[in-house]
Every structure is written in C-alpha cells, then in structure tokens.
Amino acid sequence: MSEDKINATENIKNEKKKRIFSGIQPSGTLTLGNYIGAIRNFLLLSGEYDCLYCVVDEHAITVRQVPAELRRHTYETLAIYIACGLSPEENILFIQSHVHQHAELSWILGCYAMFGELSRMTQFKDKSANNSENINAGLFTYPVLMAADILLYQADLVPVGIDQKQHLELARTIAERFNGIYGDTFVVPDGYIPEVGMKIMSLAEPTKKMSKSDTNVNGYVAILDEPDTIIRKFRRAVTDSDSTVRYAEGKDGINNLMSIYSSFTGKSYNEIESEFEGKGYGDFKTAVGETVSDGLKPIRTEFNRLMTDKSYLESVMKQGAEQAGRLAERTLKKVQKKLGFVLLK
C-alpha cells in the first residue's frame, strides 16, 4: 500500500465518531428535568457523536404498568424525542423491546455481576422502600440490563444523571471483568454529566429530584404542560424566607430556579443575580415560568402534530430497530463466540 493510501486510511480512522447511548423510561409524562437533564444534552451531542437513543420500556416494567398507558407513553416518548429535535436521520431512535439482544446480553452479563455489587445499588434500596409490595428480581437486576443496553452498542460515552452514575460504574466493572477473562470484547464507557441543569429538583420539595412519578403535581413541570399551568407551578415553587435572588448554600429552591433559568437563557448565576437585583422572588418566579413556557412551546406544537401520525412513528420505530439490531447482533455474536456457545450459520 502506498504512503498516501496509508495516510488516508489513518485519517478515516481518526475521524471516526465516538458512540453515545442513552435511554428514558416511558413510565409517565416526561418532565422538565428529563428535558434539561437528558434530552437537551442529547441534542448537543448528536452532531459530534454517533448516537443511539432508546425508549427503555423493559426497564419500566420493574414497577407494575397499565398496559394501555405503557403503550401510549412509549409512542409519546418517541414523539418527544423527535419534537425536541432528535432527527431519526441523524440518530438511531428505537424501542428497547424491539431489539431482543438487550435481554439476551443481560442474562449473560448477569453471570458476571456479583450479588454483593447489586445489593449495594442505592436505587434498589430506595425503590424497594417505595414498592414493598413488589420487590421483584427485575428491580434487583435492573443495573445489569442497563449495562447490557450500553455495552451492546460499544458506547464510548453515556449521558447520565448523578442518580445513575452508580449504575454506569457497575457497567464499567462488568465490562472490565469480562474483558479480563476473555480478552478485548467491550468498550469501557465513560459518563457525561453536564455542569448546568444536571439534576433538576422538585418545585415543591427542592431537596428532592423532580420526578414524573411525584404524587404532588406542583412538584414537577411536564414538557407537555400548558403555558398557564407551567407559570402557575413556578409561581407556587417553594423558596426560602429571604427575598434576594442569589445562588447560595441553604437556598435550595432559588438555586434550583436559577439552574433552570440558566439552562434556558444561557446566563450565568452572576448575570441572573444582576438581572434581578432589587426585585423579589415573585418577579423571578414569574420570569422563570414564562421563559420555560416559551421555550417548550415549539416542542408541544410539534409533539401534537406527530401524535396524529402514528404510522410515521411506527416507521421510525422499525427503522431504528433494524439499525440498532445490526449493531447489537454484532456484539452479541462476538460475546457468544468467546463464551463457547455453538453458533448456527
């Protein structure tokens, strides 16, 4: 091979994009926290990386779901992905249960995850406390399926919230353990946690994460909430007895609102403090509510349009499942071969 061809080949290798994988459960209406903490970051990464974004319906059933609602939320989550700007032409968008290799690799990796490691997962402890009537094995092995989701696609980077960081560490541990036994098999993924808006807190209890499962509807803002509802929820947001808009320890409510406002406006905390100098919390809460409402309006409009076209959404599901399936099968076959499974041709 000539020197020019060698250099050209090396350039192609160097230009190869790294791969991103992430997913969101279709277990309810997605919130502002999902948008700021996850989907909006997906958008920032989609041009720079090869991206796979999944609707993780298999994860959702660790808690009992109403079948019709799970089906509807699955369509809605995919529609929100697209409405937020994640193009099916530029990203692989798919439903987890449409790619059977997730469940198959999960079983294999479960044999390389230690009981003690799973027992230490804080989310299992928290969810068990909240679901004492249904502490199922799937809830316990949830992190193994998450590891399979990631490792199946040889993901280099995984956008995760702080609450999922422990699960990502387990995925890394399993990958390194498997690689140590069988040789280079899995890419060991790194996490991506944004500086601003990485964890959006409840408007009603600002020491708790904003959650779509919150029984207090004033605690969260749904991406699809109407403008008046959004503004009303922000006006009711819990703050402190001070009246100065400033980011400081002990001001959890105001800190959360400043983080949200910064995420939508791009302004630093110092700039926000200057903007609202001499103004009270009421003015600030209204401004945050109006800014968020305006920012989410195009998403709501496009979402409503997409939900009238189920055939289009199903075509995206089919295309995504085929694309993801090809990548997944490549990894699964590699793993099965290393384990000594007999592969049919």
The encoded tokens of residue 54 equal: 């999944």
> Which residues are catalytically annotated?
127, 209, 212
pLDDT along the chain (345 residues), means of 10: 43 66 89 89 84 96 92 96 95 98 98 92 70 79 95 93 82 97 96 70 92 86 95 95 90 95 94 94 96 96 97 98 98 98 91
Sequence ranges of the domains in the chain: 3-193+310-339, 217-305
What are the backbone angles phi and psi of residue 74, rounded to the nearest 5°? -65, -45
pLDDT value of position 38: 85
**Angle subtended by helix axes 67-83 and 281-306, to nearest 10:** 100
Q: Which CATH architecture has domain 217-305?
A: Orthogonal Bundle (1.10)
Same fold, 3-193+310-339 and 217-305: no
Provide the 10 A C-beta neighbour count for residue 275.
15
CATH homologous superfamily for 3-193+310-339?
Answer: HUPs (3.40.50.620)
At residue 27, the pLDDT reads 83
Distance CA 148, CA 317 (A): 20
pTM: 0.87
Tokens encoding 7 = 């250099």
